[in-house]
């Protein structure tokens, strides 16, 4: 932990459209495990070997279409440990200074960037320039300007840019989206998203403005922003927001503790959401329509997700989110699959534009119109 913290401290100094595919088309890891797969495989290097990087790597053990083949890290001891655990050859191991050399490595197809938020933009540009597909954790960048540059760089390099929106493949989430698309909820009127937890270690990078780009909004709040969009099925046209802070020592200037925000949609539907680092147990989505409702709690955790609608409990099976996500990413890159809910760079950019507007609304107290 001290090694990673020291490394990070050094770095700190330096409208939605849903193609109609059936639920059965979405990968189920348990089902996939029972079949023999002999098609193309997406060969992935993970950049950033922290807690979530480890979770993704462990989940990929069960993948058929995606395989972990490389690592990029600033901590040599982690590289050695991952090599032993995941059988990664020396030639596929890099650090943050030399990873541009992946351009000459034909055994790596894509790099999954799982580093602090402020590093996503420069690292993605380098990966794209190296000619490799970019998979990036959310938020995709610190702001919409950086996000647009990432989108443009990947288009120029003719590589894919995908964002780690694992909930876009979660079965219960997809069932609620299906119900909304099929009109079973009627005209959508209201969405509520509550996203928050009490954050611990005050020295961690998530509370460092230079590394995180903000506070709770740049970590947990994005789930409610993104959820509002795919649950309502529209792009918001205005935003209002209010910030509150109870601990200015822990949550320094530019690091938001709690933000309440509201979104307005073209149809007249509205959303009321909360993003916080100071309250536990906040992981809930609620969608209300003229003819019915959907409620999910927990709604975005690692699972199992639980939910009910006016028709009863949601009973779709749970599968490890990261396994399903990586299988789907492989299908998008290798087979041209079109997911029900987009996971490309444009999707990430839409969220960043809303985050920019939320911060502006907090600062000015004004209602911000979204283009």
For residue 93, the cross-strand partners are 71
Residue 252 pLDDT exceeds 50: yes
Residue among 304, 303, 286 at smallest CA distance from 295: 286
Q: Is 165 a catalytic residue?
A: no
Residues 17-166, CATH architecture: 3-Layer(aba) Sandwich (3.40)
Residue among 164, 68, 54, 153 at smallest CA distance from 107: 68
Model-level pTM?
0.91
Superfamily of domain 167-316+345-369 in the CATH hierarchy = Dihydrodipicolinate Reductase; domain 2 (3.30.360.10)
Asked whether the beta carbons of 191 and 228 are under 8 A apart, the reply is yes
Q: Is 223 a catalytic residue?
A: yes
Cα 195 from Cα 97, distance rounded (Å):
36
Averaged pLDDT for residues 202-221: 98
pLDDT band at 157 (very low <50, low <70, confident <90, very high): very high
Selected catalytic residue, list 96, 112, 165, 223: 223
Give the tens place of pLDDT for each residue, 307-347.
999 999 999 999 999 999 999 999 999 999 999 999 999 99
pLDDT band at 34 (very low <50, low <70, confident <90, very high): low
Q: Domain-by-domain residue ranges, the chain?
A: 17-166, 167-316+345-369
Q: How far is CA 358 from the centre of its chain?
A: 18
Give the tens place of pLDDT for each residue, 89-127.
999 999 999 999 999 999 999 999 999 999 999 999 999
Please determine whether the domains at 17-166 and 167-316+345-369 fall in the same fold group of CATH.
Answer: no
What is the pLDDT of the chain when averaged over all its residues?
93
Q: Is 87 left (phi over 0), alpha (psi -120 to 50) or beta?
A: left
Residue among 65, 32, 136, 148 at smallest CA distance from 333: 65
pLDDT band at 135 (very low <50, low <70, confident <90, very high): very high
SS3 track for the chain: CHHHHHHHHHHHHCCCCCCCCCHHHCCCHHHHHCCCCCCCCEEEEEECCCHHHHHHHHHHCCCCCEEEEEEECCCHHHHHHHHHHHCCCHHHEECCCCHHHHHHCCCCCEEEECCCHHHHHHHHHHHHHCCCEEEECCCCCCCHHHHHHHHHHHHHHCCCEEECCHHHHCHHHHHHHHHHHCCCCCCEEEEEEEEECCCCCCCCHHHCHHHHCCCHHHCCHHHHHHHHHHHHCCCCCEEEEEEECCCCCCCCCCCCCEEEEEEECCCCCEEEEEEECCCCCEEEEEEEECCEEEEECCCCCCCCCCEEECCEECCCCCCCHHHHHHHHHHHHHHHCCCCCCCCEHHHHHHHHHHHHHHHHHHHHCCCEECC
Asked whether the beta carbons of 59 and 327 are under 8 A apart, the reply is no
Q: Angle formed by the axes of helices 321-335 and 51-60, to 10°?
A: 70
- The whole-number pLDDT of residue 362 equals 98
pLDDT band at 217 (very low <50, low <70, confident <90, very high): very high
pLDDT band at 2 (very low <50, low <70, confident <90, very high): very low
Measure Cα distances from 363 to 48, 122, 242, 259, 366 in Å.
33, 27, 8, 11, 8
Selected catalytic residue, list 64, 65, 132, 138: 138
């Amino acid at each position: 932990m001290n090694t990673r913290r020291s490394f990070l401290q050094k770095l700190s100094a330096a409208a939605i459209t849903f193609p109609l595919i059936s639920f059965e088309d979405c990968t189920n890891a348990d089902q996939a495990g029972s079949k023999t797969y002999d098609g193309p495989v997406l060969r992935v290097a993970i950049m950033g070997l922290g807690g979530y990087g480890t979770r993704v790597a462990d989940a990929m053990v069960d993948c058929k279409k995606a395989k972990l083949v490389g690592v990029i890290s600033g901590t040599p001891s982690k590289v050695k440990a991952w090599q032993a655990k995941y059988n990664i050859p020396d030639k596929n191991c890099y650090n943050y200074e030399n990873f541009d050399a992946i351009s000459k490595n034909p055994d790596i197809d894509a790099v999954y960037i799982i580093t602090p938020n402020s590093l996503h933009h420069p690292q993605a540009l380098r990966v794209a320039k190296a000619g490799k597909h970019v998979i990036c954790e959310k938020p995709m960048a610190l702001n919409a300007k950086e996000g647009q540059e990432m989108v443009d760089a990947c288009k120029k390099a003719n590589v894919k840019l995908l964002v780690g929106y694992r909930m876009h493949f979660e079965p219960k989430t997809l069932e609620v989206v299906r119900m909304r698309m099929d009109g079973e909820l009627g005209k959508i009127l209201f969405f509520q998203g509550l996203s928050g937890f009490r954050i611990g270690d005050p020295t961690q990078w998530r509370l460092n403005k230079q590394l995180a780009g903000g506070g709770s909004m740049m970590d947990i709040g994005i789930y409610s922003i993104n959820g509002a969009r795919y649950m309502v099925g529209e792009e918001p046209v205005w935003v209002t927001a209010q910030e509150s802070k109870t601990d200015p020592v822990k949550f320094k200037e530019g690091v938001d503790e709690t933000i309440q925000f509201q979104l307005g949609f073209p149809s007249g539907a509205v959303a009321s959401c909360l993003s916080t680092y100071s309250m536990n147990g906040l992981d809930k989505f609620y969608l209300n329509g003229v003819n019915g409702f959907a409620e999910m709690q927990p709604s975005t955790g690692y699972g199992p997700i639980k939910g009910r609608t006016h028709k009863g409990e949601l009973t779709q099976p749970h599968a490890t989110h990261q396994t399903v996500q990586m299988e789907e990413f492989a299908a998008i890159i290798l087979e041209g699959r079109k997911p029900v809910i987009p996971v490309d760079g444009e999707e990430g950019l839409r969220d960043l534009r809303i985050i920019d507007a939320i911060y502006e609304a907090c600062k000015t107290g004004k209602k911000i119109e979204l283009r």
